Amino acid sequence: MSPLATLRRMHAIAGAPLLTASFLARLPVSMVLIGTLTLVTARTGSVAAGGLVSGALALGEAVGGPVIARFADRRGQRPVVLATSLLDAALIAALVAGVNAGAPVPALAALAAVAGLFMPQIGPLARSRWIALAGRRGPDRERSVAAALSVEGVLDETGFVVGPALVGVLAVVLDPVAAVLGAAVLIGVFGSVFALHPTALPGAPAAASRAPLARAGLLVLTVPMFCQGLFFGATSTGVTAFTQEMGHGDLAGLMYAVMGVSSAAAGLMMASVPASVRLTTRLRVAALAMAVFSAVLLLAPGPLALAAAMLALGCGIGPHIVTIFGLAERAAPAARLGQAMTIVVSCLIVGQSLGSMAAGALAERFGFGGAFLLTLAAAAGAFLVAASAVRSRWYSGSDPAPAPAAA
């Protein structure tokens, strides 16, 4: 199945409006993080203060996300996503007001943490919604689920490429305030659209919603996803340090975008992999590719070589993420799929935050090579877990998910 055929299959399942709404509703996640960092740094003159406030926001999301998804699985997506979208938009606007009013940094960090707690979990809940929709396609279910997870992975990665770029444009053309308030508007408007779309999943019966999440197949996936987060944090920091050392600091965003493009294309192609190739095998191959191409980063002599290495690196990232979510779908109880997906995403967020902090310190002491060594270590860790701890017998399939309304 080509990337275009994958997109056509998604359109056939529920139509373009759901894809559009879910993308624009998750775009603010990356916007608000980098926007808050930019805004607080600009207003206070302290990068440390900006890092503290944006870090509190990320930590709040990592903690609150699984709780919000749990309520959505139990009570239904519509009321939970609608309430959190509107509340979070208001909290982000309050955070901007606090920054402009010169509120103390600890107070800003506390407000940012609360805003993170109520961040609507569009990505994970969209995945559970698409999987439920695909389940209605009978014998074609496996290919439809593969298409859904491939496209969802692309939407996430595109958001993390477009979001920071949009923040940069708004900050230069207007003001950092415009970037953060823009994110708040997107959350409030398109989060509500996503919530009110007729495909919103209903709540699960009480008995089904008590199915345990502590399953070996799901728990083990949190480790490679944490490693993926470390990988992202270290790579973005290493690329920035590399381009600065080479005297081309303005190319950092472009280098990272190159990786995003190849990752998105490779992720879409995962829907065309034959079903006979086990998901566990795909995970190991993707993680190995990440590790091998991470080593190449350390050898890049200049910007062109780095761009080529980043392009190759993306070919492992997209398949790795898509496969982790595919395995999570099979390991998690269907009635708690949204929460399971959110827990996996939270591990990515925590890993990315820690990776950025650790890589920053390494780059400051050892140059860009120190950051790229962490990239290699994270990829190697993901491969070791995939090769030694992930077992095919844990991913035989899941129970039917709650039926969504007609698209």
Last residue of a domain, one of 154, 176, 203: 203
Average pLDDT of 117-146? Answer: 73
| pLDDT exceeds 70 at position 35 | yes
197 & 217 share domain: no
Mean pLDDT of the chain: 80
302-321: burial string, b at 16+ Cβ within 10 Å, e else? ebeebbebbbbbbbbbbbbb
197 & 215 share domain: no
Nearest to 13 by CA among 271, 222, 286: 271
291 & 396 share domain: yes
Q: What percent of the chain has pLDDT over 70?
A: 82
| pLDDT exceeds 80 at position 186 | yes
Domain that holds residue 25: 1-203
Total Cβ atoms within 10 A of residue 154: 25
Query: Residue 209: what pLDDT?
Result: 56
List the beta bridge partners of residue 322: none
Average pLDDT of 234-244? Answer: 78
219 & 155 share domain: no
Q: Packing angle between helix 368-388 and helix 337-366, nearest 10 degrees?
A: 140
| pLDDT exceeds 60 at position 36 | yes
Domain at 216, CATH number: 1.20.1250.20
Average pLDDT of 58-70? Answer: 84
Does 180 map to a domain? yes
Query: Residue 157: what pLDDT?
Result: 67
| pLDDT exceeds 70 at position 253 | no
Does 407 map to a domain? no
288 & 346 share domain: yes
Does 69 map to a domain? yes
Structural tokens at position 86: 């509107």
78 & 122 share domain: yes
Does 405 map to a domain? no
199 & 255 share domain: no
- For residue 301, give every residue at least 6 positions away whose Cβ sits within 8 Å of its Cβ, in sequence order, or none: none
| pLDDT exceeds 80 at position 240 | no
Question: Do residues 48 and 217 lie in contact, with contact meaning Cβ atoms separated by under 8 Å?
Answer: no
Does 308 map to a domain? yes
| pLDDT exceeds 50 at position 332 | yes
Per-residue pLDDT tens digits for 349-394: 888 778 877 877 787 788 888 889 999 999 999 999 999 988 888 8
Structural tokens at position 355: 């990776």
Burial of 272 (0-12, 13-18, 19+ CB in 10 A): middle
Last residue of a domain, one of 203, 230, 263: 203
217 & 198 share domain: no
Lowest mean pLDDT among 220-224, 249-253, 279-283, 295-299: 249-253
Highest mean pLDDT pick, 73-87, 132-146, 193-207, 245-259: 73-87
174 & 91 share domain: yes
Per-residue pLDDT band for 129 (boundaries 50, 70, 90) equals confident
99 & 238 share domain: no
Lowest mean pLDDT among 106-120, 251-265, 279-293, 295-309: 251-265
Highest mean pLDDT pick, 73-77, 279-283, 289-293, 339-343: 289-293
DSSP 215: -
Does 77 map to a domain? yes
193 & 238 share domain: no
| pLDDT exceeds 50 at position 407 | no
Q: How many domains does the chain have?
A: 2
Task: Tell me the one-letter amino acid at 402.
Answer: P
- Distance of alpha carbon 77 from alpha carbon 81, whole angstroms: 6
Question: Do residues 119 and 91 lie in contact, with contact meaning Cβ atoms separated by under 8 Å?
Answer: no
Nearest to 381 by CA among 353, 351, 359, 357: 351
206-224: burial string, b at 16+ Cβ within 10 Å, e else? eebbeeeeeeebbebbbbb
Last residue of a domain, one of 169, 203, 237: 203
| pLDDT exceeds 70 at position 137 | no
103 & 144 share domain: yes
- For residue 172, give every residue at least 6 positions away whose Cβ sits within 8 Å of its Cβ, in sequence order, or none: none
Whether the model clears a pTM of 0.85, i.e. scores above it, the answer is: no
- Distance of alpha carbon 137 from alpha carbon 122, whole angstroms: 23
Per-residue pLDDT band for 406 (boundaries 50, 70, 90) equals very low
Give the residue, 132 or 189, on which the prediction is more confident: 189
Structural tokens at position 89: 């938009």
